[in-house]
């Protein structure tokens, strides 16, 4: 039997996808379309300003690094407005977002709609850190307000000083988990391959240590964030059916904890200053007038000038973590950034002397931070191939049925 051309084309496409996979070298000759939902860890640095209104455009985050390397297609930049600002078309993440404002601004539904309208096939979610935002209003020229979900005003301080009740903490974690679950479910139901990251805690940031110097108090905050991350991981992997990357634990393995902080971390044999802030002292930028100095990522400093956001060199590790999860959980074939490439992304002056990240992480690899879904995810490419195969099988069954009927009638 010879299949009609249109059906044969569908079968051929289905067979190619099943044999090679959308994540194979064949499938990723054209970078997959990837969107983002969340906060400043995903919002483009060229579309963000740190304290005193100084742009972060001298540095790049994980999404930008993957776009610039041709690993993903996040869409063109444009004057979109809304949470996208002037960033990439498929990146709805907005600096300062909480789980509540992420849902309220429709980041998740806007990206989900682009599965059909633009062919977005993959998404990363990083959200939750700002639900426990430590910084008071009006630091320098920054007008951010305390943004805490489901806890009373000044709740960061109430947890820091050990005054928050168990009921308040449980309510915070429950509300935040429900929101990230809603976002992941919405994207997954749209046929998008989703990877969600646990939320890092602000206690590792130089500005947080400066404003809240008691390590034990910051550890109380960390315990609450840890509760949220554990609950969110269970909900996402067991009930929603999407994998999680444990960015929270990775940041602790890099920076240490609030009672035993680390000072340096080696990437490519280069010692990264874990308290360094883009070649300047962040404290000089908490008030006007601004000091002289060159702010840059052309330095082995872990943070940008505001003492909050990770600098380019660290974001290379975050990008690798996301890509590792897509490779292992959805069958993609992203090539990770090598350690020489990570150094080069930040500076041409940092000299590679050997791979050192695994050793610096205590023997862990990126795969050790990936938590697989208990329920098997349904990648958009797999769904397409299954639908095509089902259509072919159904057509063959119907045709055989008609042939048998003709034979019966002719007897």
pLDDT at 178: 98
pLDDT band at 24 (very low <50, low <70, confident <90, very high): very low
Residue 267 has φ and ψ, to the nearest 5°, of -125, 120
Residue 278 has pLDDT above 60, yes or no: yes
| Region of poorest pLDDT, from 255-269, 316-330, 357-371, 391-405 | 391-405
Structure token pair of residue 18: 């099943």
Q: Residue 18: is its pLDDT beyond 90?
A: no
Give me the mean pLDDT over the 312-326 stretch. Answer: 99
Per-residue pLDDT, 155: 72
Q: For 192-199, what is the mean pLDDT?
A: 99
- Domain presence at residue 10: no
158 — pLDDT class (breaks 50, 70, 90): confident
Question: Does 16 have pLDDT greater than 90?
Answer: no
CATH of the domain at 206: 3.40.50.1110
The per-residue pLDDT of the chain, averaged, comes to 84
- For residue 33, the SS3 value is strand
Count the neighbouring beta carbons within 10 Å of the beta carbon of residue 73.
22
**pLDDT tens digits along 87-144:** 999 999 999 999 999 999 999 999 999 999 999 999 999 999 999 988 754 333 333 3
How far does the chain reach from its first CA to its final CA, in angstroms? 23
On whether residue 2 sits in a domain, the answer given is no
Does 193 reside within a domain?
yes
β-pairing verdict for 244-245 and 370-371? antiparallel
Residue 391 has pLDDT above 50, yes or no: no
Q: Could you tell me the strand order of the sheet in which 264-267 lies?
A: 264-267, 270-277, 301-303
User: Hey, is 251 helix, strand or coil?
Assistant: helix
295 domain residue, yes or no = yes
Please give the angle made by the CA atoms of 253, 255 and 259, to the nearest 5 degrees.
Answer: 100
Task: Note whether residue 79 is domain-resident.
Answer: yes
Averaged pLDDT, 288-300: 80
**Does the pLDDT at position 22 exceed 70?**
no
List CB contacts of 283: < 8 A, sequence separation 6 or more: 210, 307
**Each residue of 374-387: pLDDT tens digit?**
954 555 544 444 44
Per-residue pLDDT, 288: 67
As to burial, measured by CB atoms within 10 angstroms (0-12 exposed, 13-18 middle, 19+ buried), residue 6 is exposed
Res 380: pLDDT: 52
Does the residue 69 lie in any domain?
Answer: yes
Report which DSSP code applies to 335: P
Q: What is the pTM of this model?
A: 0.83
- Could you tell me what percent of the chain has a pLDDT over 90? 70
Q: Grade residue 154 by pLDDT with cuts at 50, 70 and 90.
A: low
- Looking at residue 50, its pLDDT comes to 67
Q: Which helix (H) or strand (E) holds 301?
A: strand 301-303
Residue 1 domain-assigned? no
**pLDDT at residue 257, rounded to an integer:** 94
Backbone angles phi, psi at 263, to 5 degrees: -100, -35
Number of compact structural domains in the chain: 1
Q: According to the per-residue pLDDT averaged within each range, which of 15-24, 50-59, 273-282 is highest?
A: 273-282
pLDDT number for residue 130? 92
* Beta strand 193-197 pairing with 244-245: parallel
Percentage of residues in the chain having pLDDT higher than 70: 78
150-164, 208-222, 301-315, 326-340: segment of lowest average pLDDT: 150-164
Q: Please indicate, yes or no, if residue 50 is contained in any of the structural domains.
A: yes
- Model confidence at 270: pLDDT above 80: yes
User: Is the distance from CB of 172 to CB of 228 less than 8 angstroms?
Assistant: yes
Q: Which residues contact 308 (CB under 8 A, 6 or more apart)?
A: 40, 50, 202, 205, 207, 208
Q: Does residue 272 register a pLDDT over 70?
A: yes
SS3 256: strand
Confidence class for position 198, pLDDT limits 50, 70, 90: very high
SS3 36: strand
pLDDT at 136: 56
Most confident of the ranges 19-23, 222-226, 283-287, 401-405: 222-226
**Does the structure show a pLDDT above 90 at 174?**
yes
Average pLDDT on 353-371 reads 99
**Pick from 61-75, 283-297, 298-312: least confident:** 283-297
What is the span of the domain harbouring residue 262? 23-378
Q: Is pLDDT above 60 for 303?
A: yes
Give dist(CA 341, CA 401) in Å, integer: 59
Least reliable range by pLDDT among 140-154, 262-276, 395-409: 140-154
What span, in angstroms and rounded, lies between the C-alpha atoms of 184 and 193?
A: 10
């Amino acid at each position: 039997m010879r299949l009609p051309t249109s059906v044969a084309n569908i079968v051929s496409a289905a067979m190619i996808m099943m044999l090679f996979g959308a994540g194979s070298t064949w499938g990723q000759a054209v970078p997959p379309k990837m969107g983002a939902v969340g906060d400043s860890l995903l919002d483009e640095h060229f579309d963000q300003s740190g304290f005193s209104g100084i742009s972060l455009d001298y540095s790049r985050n994980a999404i930008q690094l993957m776009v610039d390397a041709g690993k993903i297609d996040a869409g063109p930049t444009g004057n979109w407005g809304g949470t996208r600002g002037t960033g990439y078309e498929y990146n709805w993440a907005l600096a300062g977002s909480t789980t509540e404002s992420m849902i309220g601004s429709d980041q998740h539904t806007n990206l989900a709609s682009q599965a059909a309208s633009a062919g977005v096939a993959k998404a990363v979610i990083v959200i939750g850190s700002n639900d426990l935002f430590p910084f008071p209003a009006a630091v320098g020229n920054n007008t951010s307000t305390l943004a805490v979900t489901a806890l009373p005003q000044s709740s960061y301080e109430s947890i820091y000083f050990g005054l928050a009740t168990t009921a308040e903490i449980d309510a915070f974690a429950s509300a935040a988990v429900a929101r990230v679950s809603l976002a992941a479910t919405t994207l997954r139901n749209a046929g998008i391959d989703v990877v969600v990251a646990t939320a890092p805690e602000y206690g590792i940031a130089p500005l947080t240590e400066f404003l809240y110097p008691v390590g034990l108090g910051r550890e109380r905050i960390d315990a609450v964030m840890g509760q949220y991350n554990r609950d969110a991981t269970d909900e996402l992997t067991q009930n929603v059916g999407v994998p999680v990357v444990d960015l929270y634990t990775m940041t602790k393995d890099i920076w240490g904890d609030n009672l035993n902080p680390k000072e340096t971390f080696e990437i490519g044999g280069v010692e990264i200053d874990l308290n360094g802030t883009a070649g300047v002292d962040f404290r000089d930028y908490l008030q006007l007038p601004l000091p002289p100095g060159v702010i840059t990522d052309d330095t082995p400093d872990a943070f940008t000038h505001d003492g909050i956001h990770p600098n380019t060199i660290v974001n290379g590790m975050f990008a690798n973590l996301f890509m590792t999860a897509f490779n292992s959980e959805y069958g993609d074939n992203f090539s990770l950034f090598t350690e020489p490439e990570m150094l080069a992304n930040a500076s041409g002056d940092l000299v590679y002397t050997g791979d050192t990240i695994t050793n610096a992480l205590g023997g862990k690899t990126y795969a050790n931070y990936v938590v697989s879904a208990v329920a098997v995810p349904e990648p958009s490419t797999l769904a397409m191939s299954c639908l095509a195969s089902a259509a072919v099988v159904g057509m063959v069954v119907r045709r055989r049925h008609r042939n048998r009927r003709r034979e019966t009638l002719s007897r």
